[in-house]
Structure 1
Amino acid sequence: MEKTTTLNLRVNPDVKKRAEEVLSQLGMPMSTAIDIYLKQISLTGGIPFAVTLPKAPETINADLMTVEELQAKLQKGYDDVEAGNVQSAAEAFAKFREKH
């Protein structure tokens, strides 16, 4: 099928860059990925995946904690900072990416 329509989109540059890196590993240009996405919308009659908020693990979900549990976690965090048990956000996210 011939492609004759142009889309002009504004997206977050970091999100675009990360998506392009993944698509490059798949050998797929961004335009093909977007075309697939649009085809799936028309085939399924909606967004082709669940659009939901991520759920926090119960061990860190403050909505599921008692006041005492929340205070204990906050105190542990404070104690860790006082003891120098800290890492930068960049280090934390790098470790997270390695695991996932």
Structure 2
Amino acid sequence: MEKTATLNLRVNPSTKKAAEDVLSRLGIPMSTAIDMYLKQITLTGGIPFKVVLPQAPDAINADLMTTAEIHTKLQEGFDDIEAGRVQDAKSAFAAFRESHK
């Protein structure tokens, strides 16, 4: 089918770049990916994936904790800092990425 319709849209530049990087590795041009997305909308009759708020595990979901439980978690964090059980963010994220390849 000939592609003759044009979409003009604004997106977050860093999101666009990240998506382009992934699509490049997959060998899929951005226009093809958008076309695939629109086709899936028509085939499924809606957004082709769940659109939900992320769910935090109950153990760290402050909305499910009492004030005392929140204070306990905070105190545990302060205790870790005082005991030197800390890691800078760069190292923590690097270790996370390495363990989740």
How does the TM-score come out when normalised to structure 2? Answer: 0.82
* 2:29 counterpart of 1:63: no
- The one-letter code of the counterpart of 2:81 is V
- Superposed CA RMSD: 1.9
Which shows bigger deviation, 76-85 or 23-32? 76-85
Which shows bigger deviation, 84-93 or 4-13? 84-93
> Hey, what does 1:5 align to over in structure 2?
5
- Aligned residue for 1:47, secondary structure, equals coil
- CA–CA distance in structure 1, aligned partners of residues 91 and 17 of structure 2: 20
- Equivalent residues in 2 for 1:79-94 (5 A)? 79-94=79-94
Kindly tell me: are residues 83 and 90 of structure 1, through their superposed partners in 2, closer, same or farther at Cα, counting changes over 3 Å? Answer: same
Kindly tell me: are residues 21 and 44 of structure 1, through their superposed partners in 2, closer, same or farther at Cα, counting changes over 3 Å? Answer: same
Residues 61-98 of structure 1: per-residue CA shift (max 9 Å, x gap):
11222322211110111222333433333333333333
- Equivalent residues in 2 for 1:1-100 (5 A)? 1-98=1-98, 99=100
- CA–CA distance in structure 2, aligned partners of residues 94 and 10 of structure 1: 31
- CA–CA distance in structure 2, aligned partners of residues 19 and 95 of structure 1: 23
In structure 1, runs of 5+ residues without a counterpart are none
Equivalenced residue count is 100
Which shows bigger deviation, 55-64 or 73-82? 73-82
- CA–CA distance in structure 1, aligned partners of residues 11 and 51 of structure 2: 18
% identical equivalent positions? 71
Kindly tell me: are residues 13 and 87 of structure 1, through their superposed partners in 2, closer, same or farther at Cα, counting changes over 3 Å? Answer: farther
